[in-house]
Structure 1
Amino acid sequence: MKISVIGAGKYGSTLVDKVARMNFADRVVMLDIVEGLPQGLALDMNQSRPIEGFETEIVGTNTYDATAGSDVVVVTAGKPRKPGMSRMDLINDNAQIVGTVAREIAASSPEAVVIVVSNPLDEMTALFQRVSGLPTQRVVGQAGMLDTARFQDKTAAAVGTKPTAVEAMTLGSHGDTMVPVPSRVRVDGKLLADVLDQGTIDDIVEQTRGGGAEVVALLKEGSAYFAPASAAARMVQAIAGDEGAMMPACAWVTGEFGISDVYLGVPVRLDRRGVGEIVEIDLTDDELADLRRAAEAVRDKQSDIDGLV
């Protein structure tokens, strides 16, 4: 099993470390354009193996040759946000970067399942698929797992319980039209509405939507990478293990929830095919309306990328 991660910044290198420690891959390849950076990081990580007790080999490289034949590729390449920037502010620069990566991956690993994490997420996932020509089933975006984790964390803090006691789901876009789904939240098995008042729930939903900006504002430079890397690592694990595990991801929708022909955050089952299935979970009327509004907003933005690469 070969996993490749494109980009050796904080997100990419943290992801490589997490995936390697899971010990399900034979090799994890880390590629970056900066000479020496991925090689040095790989050497350092490999030397942690006797201490940590994992066997996955980590390879650092500046060329796509070492990534050839990858089973799963994660694209982290791109510029991060700075305070005051929206994810959409990155679209022109990151479109060029992701477009280049898409062509290289299509040539070197044409059978791979690809997870895109570059921002703006929904647009870059659509762009990668269009430029690479890979089947939509095998190109997904990582956003929902991260946004759901933030939803769980904020909910747990409000209730005063452990984050692991909270079940949740976040759909829609990775941005202003994000759709946290309160009706799917369970806290120690109880409905969220039975645990918190509506005003507090509404506040948690807004905090979840602004979770990334909150981290960016505190860091002053760069953006979140620990939780995002954990989210992507879990998706890689599900695909590599052919699990069919259900989780939210940015996927190509073809009629589910009354939505068609757009990349959008929806519940999917991930396996070796990529998106094995989109799962139409029950939503309230308001949540479904929000998801459909998110689809139209994302559709308009994704149409803007056509002329960028």
Structure 2
Amino acid sequence: MKAVVLGAAGGIGQPLSLLLKANPAVTELALYDIVNAPGVAVDLSHIATPAKVEGYLPPDDGLEKALTGANVIVIPAGIPRKPGINAGIVRDLAKAIATTAPKAFVLVISNPVNSTVPIVVEVFKKKGVFDPKRIFGVTTLDVVRASTFVSEILGDRSLSLSVSVPVVGGHSGVTIVPLLSQSSHPLPSSLDASTIDGLINRIQFGGDEVVKAKDGAGSATLSMAYAGAEFAGKVIRAIKGEKGIIAPTFVNLASDKTGGDALKKELGTELEYFSAPVELGINGVAKINGLGKINSAEKALVQAALPELAINIEKGVAFVEASKL
């Protein structure tokens, strides 16, 4: 099981690489960045887990060497809150993946995910290697935050490992829709509307909380690395044959035509992408599930997310159409 981290020397990339090195299912770990990747790799190579670690830089076809034989590729590369720059970075990495490892499972962390996932898809389409089942936008941090914040409201942080709250839609601001009515640990009926609204807002804009706490000098890196490793671990378990793994992730709805068409009908939209509960399998997306029973307030949140999602998706598609590949 070869895992690759593109952007491995960055604020997300280093802790993500550490967590993947600690995953016993990973036997080979390739780290790529424009600087420092070999040093990160040597550092991690001293950890007593099965994965052999190699670091690569751009010279001497480093990116191609890192990608060769890859099973799972995680992309945290980019600059915090610089969408235009990140679009170009993700496009260029997608070109390399499409050429060297088109059958790998691609997990996109680089923001804005609502646009960067369509960028990867459009590049793969232009290269003639697009398989919608193998490209994922990592929205797991929204799920992690929702579980953590709900456990805080319940007054027991130890519950955070067992609380499960589905989060659908997209991966920024109002496109993030936590389905609190489906929480594995229901919120107290005594909670007033303003408390629930505050919880939803905190889940949607939790990233701003981190930026403010870091005095604008950084964004969510450690929690994002944890979330990325969690999702990567689920993908690895699924492609190794484990059944019944379901996780929200931002995918192209063509990855499961039956489930995707049903979800579009449920949403009343023709959007090609949405973060929904996805059952993972040996080929990637096995099934896209619907939203299930949601309340009227959640229905309103979903409808509010759709116009913003449409704009984000179109930006990603237009960026590749305007690019010279």
Give yes or no for the alignment of 1:164 onto 2:156: no
Q: TM-score, normalised by structure 2?
A: 0.84
Q: Give 1:195 deviation, angstroms.
A: 6.2
Q: Give 1:66 deviation, angstroms.
A: 2.6
Greater mean alpha carbon deviation, residues 155-164 or residues 286-295? 286-295
Stretches of structure 1 lacking an aligned partner (at least 5 in a row): 82-89
Matches within 5 A, 1:1-309: 1-8=1-8, 9-34=10-35, 37-49=36-48, 54-62=49-57, 63-64=62-63, 65-81=65-81, 90-133=82-125, 134-143=130-139, 145-161=140-156, 162=158, 163-177=160-174, 178-187=176-185, 191-194=186-189, 196-219=191-214, 220-242=216-238, 243=242, 244-253=244-253, 254-255=260-261, 256=263, 257-258=266-267, 259-280=269-290, 281-308=292-319, 309=323
Stretches of structure 2 lacking an aligned partner (at least 5 in a row): 254-259
Cα distance in 1 for partners of 2:147, 2:317 equals 35
Partner of 2:256: none
How many residues are matched?
291
1:103/1:169 CA distance change after superposition, 3 Å: same
The answer to whether the Cα contact below 8 Å between 1:3 and 1:25 also exists between their aligned partners in 2 is yes
Cα distance in 1 for partners of 2:226, 2:121 equals 23
Code of the aligned partner of 2:74: V
- SS of residue paired to 2:91: helix
Cα distance in 1 for partners of 2:303, 2:136 equals 19
Normalized per residue, which structure has more strand?
A: 1
Code of the aligned partner of 1:159: L
Q: Give 1:182 deviation, angstroms.
A: 1.2
Q: Give 1:270 deviation, angstroms.
A: 2.0
Cα distance in 1 for partners of 2:311, 2:66 equals 37
Per-residue displacement from partner, 1:148-206 (whole Å, max 9, x unpaired)? Answer: 1111111221221121242211111211221111111132xxx2243633332221111
1:209/1:179 CA distance change after superposition, 3 Å: same
Code of the aligned partner of 1:147: D
- SS of residue paired to 2:22: helix
Q: Give 1:304 deviation, angstroms.
A: 2.1
Code of the aligned partner of 2:87: A
1:165/1:69 CA distance change after superposition, 3 Å: closer
The answer to whether the Cα contact below 8 Å between 1:69 and 1:110 also exists between their aligned partners in 2 is no
Q: TM-score, normalised by structure 1?
A: 0.89
1:273/1:288 CA distance change after superposition, 3 Å: farther
Greater mean alpha carbon deviation, residues 117-126 or residues 63-72? 63-72
Code of the aligned partner of 1:25: V
Cα distance in 1 for partners of 2:245, 2:224 equals 18
User: Sequence identity of aligned pairs in percent?
Assistant: 27
Cα distance in 2 for partners of 1:60, 1:184 equals 42
Cα distance in 2 for partners of 1:296, 1:12 equals 32
The answer to whether the Cα contact below 8 Å between 1:183 and 1:283 also exists between their aligned partners in 2 is yes
